[in-house]
A and B are shown apart, each in its own frame.
Chain A
Amino acid sequence: MRKTFVLAALSVLVFAILTLVYITRQGNELVLTWVGDIAPMLLSLSAMLACWFAYKAIPKEYLRESRGWFYIALAFLFFMVGDVYWGYSEIFLKVELPLGSFSDLSWELAYLMLFIGFGFVLRMMFHSEKKVRWVTFITALAAIIFISIEMKKYLTTGNWIEAIQDSYVLYDIILLGMITSLLLPLIQSHNRLMNVWLLFGLAVFARIIFDFLFAGMTAIGAYATGSFIDLLYAASYVLFVVSADAKLKMLPAHALTVLRGEK
């Protein structure tokens, strides 16, 4: 049995428990905090291990893709460190971490690694320059508009620490551009060999939606661990694990069943 399959099964189980707790225990802050903090730790650990296994299993001739999975695994290591520190502070220190904490530093590094990993993944594919140019232009335009609006806000309020919170939205705008380059061609012409990248794209997309909602809810003080949007964050990890498992299924030891469309 594939190691990543075990991780995928465990991740789905953790996600199911998390969903059940969120539906049935709204109002019980203690349970929500414990489960809401511990589940992401387990899921980010699973995602890191699954991506690491994918990295180790890819033949070395496929260097770009192999490096892509390596940096994505590294991204999940940093996501996990951030999640663990966040959870530790909430559960044991009983404090909600302020902006600019160690968790933020770790998550910022995680996004950097995710960009590098995603960059390698995109470079393993052929892209028509025309399409890429359009996506890059629209992404750059959106990023510049966002930075201009936010800079104006910081200059007015003098609250520069908010830049950390807003940086996640900026990263997501860039990720959205990258994900568009990946998903558009796959949606236009899909076959079973592209499932890995479709799942990968969906995972990033779920993370982007979460970040936008998180930033919006935090800005109006409506977010606390236990909010339903946490499920998107968790789902993103699960999709990354399933995507890594789909990747391992494609590799020589299991590939014939996939190539031949068997289950």
Chain B
Amino acid sequence: MITVKVVKSEKVASAFADSVKKFSKLPGVCLLLTKPYSAVKEALKKKGVNAEKIFFVDAIAESEENNVVHVQPGNLTALSITINQTLQSLPPGKKFFIIDALSALTVQNSVQAVQKFSLFLLERLRKWDAETVIIVAKESADAALLAILKQGADKTEEK
């Protein structure tokens, strides 16, 4: 199931932490586009989630941690390969994938490129059968991008 959460910018972090907590019993991958792993780890700890058991694709900063890989957010091809490889590497069965927060990709890429990337990702995530949460900051989201995400998702939550 793919869920799009459209939240105010200041609530992105809590929406992300809540989503991770919800799925924390499953193996999964988080794509970090707004905060580095070091900051996210602490926030998750406060929620009682052990971040070390989750795999992170960190597009903000490099990390020495074993459960983190870094990808430049401007390189959508590298990002697509990394997401593919990490999800494929998880044990068979239920898994989750959470993006914090997709709209941030438009900072380093054109809006059209991110729209195409979103379509690509939605199609793949559906095939890979991952419980997906895509968090989008209300203020920074392009209207067309938001429309694509909402149309591709099974459920939209706006807060």
Contacts and interface: CB of A to CB of B under 8 A. Distances in A.
A198 to B, nearest CB: 10
Contact of B89 (A127, A194, A258): A258
Interface stretch (A143-151, A183-191, A212-220): A183-191
Interface stretch (A71-79, A80-88, A203-211, A247-255): A247-255
A250 B81 contact: no
Given A188-B72, A259-B67, A194 B78 contact: yes
B76 A128 contact: yes
Interface of A: 58-59, 61-63, 65, 124-129, 185-186, 188-194, 196-197, 250-252, 255-256, 258-262
Interface of B: 55, 66-67, 69-72, 75-82, 84-86, 88-92, 113, 116-117, 120-121, 127-129
Given A185-B77, A262-B66, A65 B84 contact: yes
Nearest to A253: B91
Contact of B92 (A128, A194, A252): A252
Given A190-B78, A260-B66, 16 more contacts: A59-B92, A62-B88, A62-B128, A125-B81, A126-B76, A126-B77, A185-B75, A186-B81, A191-B71, A193-B81, A193-B82, A193-B86, A250-B88, A252-B91, A256-B89, A262-B66
Contacts of B120: 126
Contacts of B67: 259-260
Contacts of B84: 62, 65, 124-125
Given A63-B127, A185-B75, A194-B78, A250 B89 contact: yes
B89 A255 contact: yes
Contact of B82 (A61, A65, A191, A256): A191
A252 B85 contact: no
A244 to B, nearest CB: 14
